[in-house]
Structure 1
Amino acid sequence: MLIFSLTYYPKYVGGVEVAIKEITDRIPKEDIVFDMITLRFDSTLPKKERIGNVMVYRIGPTKKNPQPDELVRMPMYMVKVLYPLLATWKALWLNRRERYDGAWAMMSYMGFPLVLLRYFCFTKLPYALTLQEGDSIEHVTRRWRIRIVHFLYAPIYRFPRIVQTISTYLANWARTMGYEGPLTVIPNAVDTEYFAQEFSGEELKELSLRLGKKTDERFIITTSRLVPKNAVDVVIRSLEFLPQTVKFLVLGVGPDDAKLRKLTADLGLSERVLFLGHIDRSEMPKYLKIADVFVRPSRSEGMGISFVEAMAAGIPVVATPVGGIVDFLFDPNVNPDKDPTGLFAVVDDPKDTARAIKAFLDDTALRGRCTINAKRMVKEQYEWNLIAKNMREKVFAELLR
């Protein structure tokens, strides 16, 4: 099977990359052989490398040790735009040698090479399409690079043998785009033991002191790409409605970095917002453990694995009822028939976001009830062995039949 993914391990790791590795590592090589075409970006990475159960082929222009924020700016951003053409050529060459039984497009953009192969190379490779998009369908389809090739984007949803989505919201997206075939919802999972790991009091104290935390201060945290959909600006504005002792940890990079820093300075909140940039995944659980509340009042969300990671770590979660979030976050006031797992805030409403944050900071019983329920739910429903089994039986079996 040939996998199409924009980035991959070891340097570029997000929800998509984790999902591919966790799933493929749990499927024996004797069952399915996986190859992948991904962008290289970094000239220090080999062009061909085996990672777990996947043989990775890296393509495209490179530079030495590019930083994560460079990948969302020109000229490195243009490498992403060129991926479909480069991947099509590489796939054609590999397929002539390997004779693949099928392909796996990880996100809709990864379907472009498969459509190009079909239309211009007379190669009809059956494929499974996974939807993990976090932006709204309107935002994706209005991007300039999608608008100018819409005649190639629409067929991505026409030809899959099966579509798998990580939320019911994205399942509806697939149908809206015209897909009529087999469809299954299988969410991403998290390494529950990894995010639930305990640290010594000394370790947590050392990190807190390094970040300048005082005895009476509280930390709220987000682990987010700095893009409009993740509404980091709303959390910054919410600080105006919260006590001075509340500080905001921002873990992540993105094109909105400068804009968010300017907003923070303009509001006189520079002492209360800590932009920590890219934090290695190995350090993420420790940062979550020193925080009191996880906050991301998203404007749109395909699923939002960061929320589930925070739940696994035992941190109360404030979110908005958009996209795939409603599949796993249940507010006691909005969903009285469900065991509560977090609190909702109104979209684009800093004052209401502050209300939800303050509720968790002030109400120990509410905090305990939500974190216990959320942690149990994640362990039961968002575990990688279960997800990999479902992918093999419900997606790959249909693809390779």
Structure 2
Amino acid sequence: MHIMFIPSWYANERNKVHGSFFKEQALALQNKGVKITVAYNEIWPLTLINKVKEKSGLYFNIEDNLRTYRYKNYNFIPKSPLMFKVFNKRMEKLFKEIEKKEGKIDIIHAQSSLWGGISAAYLSKKFNVPLVITEHSSVERGPYIRESYIPSIVDSYNTAKKLIVVGNGLKKELKKLTNRDDIKVIGNLIHFSKFPLKDKKVDNKFRFFSLAFLEGEKGFDTLIKSFSKAFKNMDNYELVIGGDGSQRKWLESLAFEEGISDKVTFLGALAREDVSKWMRKVDVFVLPSRYETFGVVYIEALASGTPVIGTFNGGAEDIITHDNGYIVDIDDIDSLARAMKDITINKEKFVPEKLREDCFKRYSPDIIADKIISVYKDIVEEGEV
């Protein structure tokens, strides 16, 4: 079975880790014996004119053991639906080149509708190849979504033989857009080798860790207020916040206003290796987001054997159970403060080895790859291939 794997964003010269979870999924599928060819429409913004050293056009390389074809060029008509016609033609060139060099394509699998899924739908209809889309992003909340894009996005969903989402909250949203009852939920995977089991404690401080872009939807203001309410006048409790963003200075001033600036540490942006280290050395991971489509940081914590606290934000409730942490209502300062206090009292309930084992059974590469391969097999059995 040959899969044309289309990521909507991917690693490039300017961002080496962009779309890393797409690459990890492609590798997991390839490791299970599926023939994967990555096809990426690498779109350069006009702000990079005269700055990009590469030439535009079609490229092939083996990247991290994946056969990868790229079509590179500028987006000459940004923010216009007309750009999709240009993208479609570029993706058509990739399709023809891949079939010529790699053989017949059995299934097209796009990661997110914007931008790859829209062009994947065009290919599916033109070349009569069944389409799978895995959606990772919200149409309602997506920062790059314009009203004029929505018809093309919805058309891609309805063109797909199989539509996958990473969380049940996103499933509800897409069901309203498409009226489809066959949307399947398959979460993201993580490589457990990158998140070893947590370290043994070396001091008596109880540390909460949080990590995300420091933006409004992540709920860091609620977190700081809840931490203050629970631990302001108590010794040996710390809140460590990783990540950077537009709210950092405001959040630092909020911690000062709450009288807990001596208990709150802002680390700034972290490399993935540093994320792993912090997940292992803290007692609890907490992120009270106002919205998540999935929430990979929760499973990175659980893989490290660290219990989690989250909110009913659309993604966390698929991950968090009473066996691995606490989940509370969005922006409920009192409930979050109680959960943070309760977990300090009941910390012995959360055995690191068991947290990791349960997480592995749900989100390891083999488990997620098998679920996706099952979708491919359904298409074959339905006679589409």
Give the alignment's TM-score, normalised by structure 1. 0.75
Q: Name the counterpart of 1:196.
A: 196
**Aligned 1:5-24 pairs, distance under 5 A:** 5-8=8-11, 11-13=16-18, 16-17=21-22, 19-24=24-29
Secondary structure at the counterpart of residue 309 of structure 2: strand
CA distance, structure 1, for counterparts of residue 316 and residue 242 of structure 2: 20
**Unpaired runs of 5+ in structure 2?**
100-104
**CA RMSD after TM alignment:** 3.6
Matched residues, number: 356
- For residues 396 and 5 of structure 1, do their structure 2 counterparts lie closer, same or farther at Cα, with a shift above 3 Å needed? farther
Q: 2:208 aligns with which of 203, 208, 220?
A: 220
**Residue type matched to 1:279 in 2?**
L
Secondary structure at the counterpart of residue 8 of structure 1: coil
Q: Is the 8 A contact 2:163 2:182 kept in 1?
A: yes
Q: Name the counterpart of 1:335.
A: none
Q: Is the 8 A contact 2:165 2:186 kept in 1?
A: yes
How many angstroms does 1:361 deviate by?
1.7
- For residues 89 and 384 of structure 1, do their structure 2 counterparts lie closer, same or farther at Cα, with a shift above 3 Å needed? same
**Residue type matched to 1:138 in 2?**
E
Q: 1:232 aligns with which of 206, 209, 220?
A: 220
Q: Name the counterpart of 1:34.
A: 37
**Aligned 1:123-138 pairs, distance under 5 A:** 126-133=130-137, 135=138, 138=140
CA distance, structure 2, for counterparts of residue 364 and residue 4 of structure 1: 40
CA distance, structure 2, for counterparts of residue 83 and residue 362 of structure 1: 56
- Per-residue deviation, residues 346-400 of structure 1 (Å, max 9, x unmatched): 21022321211121123333344xx555333212222211221221232366277
Secondary structure at the counterpart of residue 33 of structure 1: strand
How many angstroms does 1:11 deviate by?
1.7
**Aligned 1:321-360 pairs, distance under 5 A:** 321-331=312-322, 340-360=323-343
CA distance, structure 2, for counterparts of residue 397 and residue 180 of structure 1: 17
Secondary structure at the counterpart of residue 360 of structure 1: helix
How many angstroms does 1:188 deviate by?
1.9
- Per-residue deviation, residues 91-146 of structure 1 (Å, max 9, x unmatched): 12212323444422212323233356689xx666542110223x5x5324xx5742
CA distance, structure 1, for counterparts of residue 278 and residue 121 of structure 2: 42
CA distance, structure 2, for counterparts of residue 36 and residue 383 of structure 1: 25
CA distance, structure 2, for counterparts of residue 45 and residue 263 of structure 1: 45
Q: 2:141 aligns with which of 139, 142, 149?
A: 139
Give the alignment's TM-score, normalised by structure 2. 0.78
Q: 2:72 aligns with which of 56, 59, 69?
A: 59
CA distance, structure 1, for counterparts of residue 252 and residue 30 of structure 2: 40
CA distance, structure 2, for counterparts of residue 266 and residue 276 of structure 1: 19
Q: Name the counterpart of 1:241.
A: 229
**Aligned 1:1-400 pairs, distance under 5 A:** 1-8=4-11, 11-13=16-18, 16-17=21-22, 19-28=24-33, 31-37=34-40, 39=42, 48-51=60-63, 52-57=65-70, 59-60=72-73, 87-99=87-99, 100-109=105-114, 110-115=116-121, 126-133=130-137, 135=138, 138-140=140-142, 145-178=145-178, 180=180, 182-197=182-197, 217-244=205-232, 245-331=236-322, 340-368=323-351, 371=352, 373-395=354-376, 398=379
- For residues 98 and 343 of structure 1, do their structure 2 counterparts lie closer, same or farther at Cα, with a shift above 3 Å needed? same
Secondary structure at the counterpart of residue 138 of structure 1: coil
Q: Is the 8 A contact 1:308 1:378 kept in 2?
A: yes
Q: Is the 8 A contact 1:35 1:54 kept in 2?
A: yes
Q: Which moved more, 1:235-244 or 1:389-398?
A: 389-398
- For residues 158 and 11 of structure 1, do their structure 2 counterparts lie closer, same or farther at Cα, with a shift above 3 Å needed? same
**Residue type matched to 1:161 in 2?**
K
Secondary structure at the counterpart of residue 103 of structure 1: strand
Q: Which moved more, 1:41-50 or 1:245-254?
A: 41-50
How many angstroms does 1:315 deviate by?
0.8
Q: Is the 8 A contact 1:34 1:53 kept in 2?
A: yes
CA distance, structure 2, for counterparts of residue 252 and residue 14 of structure 1: 18
**Residue type matched to 1:242 in 2?**
A
Secondary structure at the counterpart of residue 173 of structure 1: helix
**Residue type matched to 1:35 in 2?**
V
**Unpaired runs of 5+ in structure 1?**
63-77, 206-214, 332-339
CA distance, structure 1, for counterparts of residue 161 and residue 287 of structure 2: 35
Q: Name the counterpart of 2:102.
A: none
How many angstroms does 1:32 deviate by?
1.9
Q: Is the 8 A contact 2:124 2:130 kept in 1?
A: no
**Residue type matched to 2:97 in 1?**
R
